[in-house]
Amino acid sequence: LTDLRPRRPELWDLTAVDVVAGRGGLVVAAAGADSTGLAADLDAAVAAVDDAWPMRWPGRVVLELPADAEQLQALVDRPGAGGLAAVTTLYDGGHGPVVRVRLNPEVNRTLVPLARQILLRHEITHAAQYARPYEHVPAWLVEGSAELVGYAGSGVPDTVVAATLLAEVRAGRMPQRL
């Protein structure tokens, strides 16, 4: 049987790529994109998620760095993806599930090393979550656990991590539910 559904393009369909292998997976970057240090950052983030995540998961990730936000948008089926720091996607690759962590190159250029590590640990936690997908898991739990792993051991104070929530509470706008 032939699958007639249109498939999302891969980064290598859009441009020439450079590939670097590490212990934690592959970094696939648009040729000429600044991927300096990404393989080492990927290895460190995968190790951190591996230590924190209680369930078995493959422990390897494909991390993609498109040339620009427009390429990122073309790679993911999510409105406004070009405005996000990163997107982790799960889709049917024809031979089983495929997980990609895709960085927004414009945001990546502005991140200090600690911020990039927090971002990668957060997104790679989603990759670990996708290894055992469960239906009906509330978004607050999915995102909350990714934030927990992302910030664990970072030294960033809780008051900084929760600054937006704290500002809402101080302004009298209490969350009505988790």
Q: Distance of CA 74 to CAs 7, 100, 105, Å?
A: 11, 14, 14
**Spatial separation of the C-alpha atoms in residues 68 and 162, rounded to whole Å:** 30
The model carries a pTM of 0.86
For residue range 98-143, what is the model confidence (pLDDT) as tens digits?
788 999 999 999 999 999 999 999 999 999 998 876 777 888 888 8
pLDDT number for residue 177: 67
CA distance 61 to 81: 20
pLDDT confidence of residue 89: 84
Taking 70 as the pLDDT cut, the residues of the chain under it are 1-7, 92-96, 133, 175, 177-178
What does DSSP say about strands 61-65 and 97-103: parallel, antiparallel, or unpaired?
A: parallel
Residue with tokens 């998961």: 57
What are the residues whose beta carbons fall under 8 Å from the beta carbon of 152, sequence distance 6 or more?
Answer: 48, 52, 121
Strands, sheet with 86-92, edge to edge from the N-terminal-most edge strand: 17-22, 25-30, 61-65, 97-103, 86-92
